[in-house]
Structure 1
Amino acid sequence: MIKRSLVEFGVVCLVLTWVPWAILGLTGTDVNEGVGSLVFALAASGPSLAALVMWLWRRERRRVVRWSWRWPVAAVGFGAVAPFAACVLSGRLPELPGHASSVVAGAGGVLGAAAYTFLAGPVSEEFGWRGYVQPRLREYFGPVGTTAVLGAVWGLWHVPLYFLPGTGQNDDGLFTSAGVTFFLELFPLTFLMLFVSEKLRGGVPGAILVHAAWNLTEELVPPLGHAVWLELLVMIVMAAALLPSWTAVRPGRRVAR
């Protein structure tokens, strides 16, 4: 039976996120300007805000991060490799410098791009998904099961964005190559975050770094079009290559769950 705390988290998260998004959609409010952008940003922070509510309410302890050079390097690599590899394999590498320069300039420079990259998604979500939900799922499931459940929940949480004008998801469309691969990519990405945050002991900061590296690299590389399937394939290969090193039985040690 799933912990009551997970159900409570889910209710708080949906109230904080889906209700404001529904109001924005029904009222036709522009999510990119004025009050609409502020409400949208706060709603997008629903997972992390829900985790904060639960931690304050239940006064539960958070897991300790083990600081080392390994997980930051792994986190950046896991997040950046797949979009960059897809860019190279699709022959779009020559377009990368010009496209990346325009993206950085549009974000107000390097600092603006970095701030947006970390806040829009990584910080606003990962205290919830990887900081609160993931360790509680691990009490019931192994790495693969946790990846399947959390990846599905994470994807479901994004669905309303495809019906909210002004969002990137709405521009891509739900039943397009970009839309389908986005949901499929969440599963190997969830595993990579699980590996960094738990196996390498990077905790929430490690998950944030993976998420930020993935978001930033996807923005900097030119639009992949149908080559986005190459990105998904690379992510699956990366996750599959890491799985045996985690679940293998070592002498005198139990299988990691």
Structure 2
Amino acid sequence: MEEDRNLIRFILQAYLISWSITLPLALSSNGILDIGLPQSLTILASFGPTISAVILWAQEKGIQNIPSYLWGCLKPRVKPVWLFVALLGPSVVGALSVFLGAFIRGSPPDFRWAAGLSAFPVVFLFVFFLGGPLGEEYGWRGYALPRLLDKFGWIKGNLILGAVWGLWHLPLFWIIDTPQSEIPLIGFTLQIMGTTFIYSWIMQGTGGSIFTAMLFHTAGNAFAGFIPFLPLGQTGGNIYSFSVFIALVWLMAVAVSVGKLK
């Protein structure tokens, strides 16, 4: 019962911390509130899940043990194959989505985005520390995932986490100039829920390496700024490539789930 209460508390805390920032930003962005908040506060909001997890771990394990526990959860030493999956997987799927999307659309694929990849290392570092992974993964994959899988099993546990994770982004869709403001809500939610299964597969394959999950999260977000598999104005992406991307994500989600259910 205490595990269940703490899981619910984790989710509520994560939402409260993040939405206390993103909801006012959304209202301000749409002229409902005249408070002039800087959009850079979304960076702070992204740390809601990790802060929520740390609060609960401090109570469960003792605040003095938190630094060593957080380091232990990272588990950066994993088999190289998992690092390749985490770092290169999103780019391969993204590029394939662009190619197939162009084929469906009946136009030649545009690979001009490749010329800008020289800036990728800087973008990668920024995204890792301030663009979501560090602020989210201790919470979603470190705290919530093992508890949801233990209680609900592989399918239901991942679907619940995917729904919770996807809904957590909701206010960002009404903040002007965020990536979510350009992406269809349904498509984004489908992509998030499918990707959740892949994260869980990586977590289990690496023995619970949050660091590898962070790398996967970082690569996905960073490559999205270059490879036009999302319908973002800055990359010239379109709904065809995005639809293919969602389909490929779910094909992989089904593939890893079949393996888990054998």
TM interval, short-chain normalised: 0.7 to 0.9
Which consecutive unaligned segments of at least 5 residues does structure 1 have?
173-177, 249-257
Q: 1:167 aligns with which of 138, 155, 178?
A: 178
Q: Per-residue displacement from partner, 1:199-250 (whole Å, max 9, x unpaired)? A: 33252112112212222222211313332111111111112222222222xx
Q: Which residue of 2 aligns with 1:228?
A: 242
Between the aligned partners of 1:128 and 1:99, the Cα distance in structure 2 is 33
Q: 2:195 aligns with which of 164, 189, 193?
A: 189
Could you tell me which amino acid in structure 2 is paired with residue 170 of structure 1? Answer: S
Between the aligned partners of 2:216 and 2:38, the Cα distance in structure 1 is 28
Q: Which residue of 2 aligns with 1:51?
A: 53
Between the aligned partners of 1:16 and 1:216, the Cα distance in structure 2 is 24
Counterpart contact for 1:51–1:132, Cα < 8 Å: yes
- Counterparts of 1:54-203 in structure 2, within 5 Å, are 54-59=56-61, 63=73, 65=75, 67-91=78-102, 95-96=110-111, 98-102=112-116, 109-119=119-129, 120-172=131-183, 178-203=184-209
Q: Which residue of 2 aligns with 1:20?
A: 21
Whether 1:242 aligns to 2:256 is yes
Range 136-145 or range 190-199, more displaced: 136-145
Q: 1:86 to 1:52 in 2, by over 3 A?
A: same
Q: 1:232 to 1:131 in 2, by over 3 A?
A: same
How far has the Cα of 1:28 moved from its partner? 4.3
Counterpart contact for 1:155–1:186, Cα < 8 Å: yes
- TM-score calculated relative to the size of structure 1: 0.80
Between the aligned partners of 1:211 and 1:71, the Cα distance in structure 2 is 13
Identity %: 27
Counterpart contact for 1:72–1:202, Cα < 8 Å: no
Could you tell me which amino acid in structure 2 is paired with residue 13 of structure 1? Answer: A
* Secondary structure of residue in 1 paired with 2:87: helix
Could you tell me which amino acid in structure 2 is paired with residue 179 of structure 1? Answer: L
Alignment length, in residue pairs?
Answer: 235
Q: 1:10 to 1:29 in 2, by over 3 A?
A: same
Between the aligned partners of 1:186 and 1:14, the Cα distance in structure 2 is 17
- TM-score calculated relative to the size of structure 2: 0.79
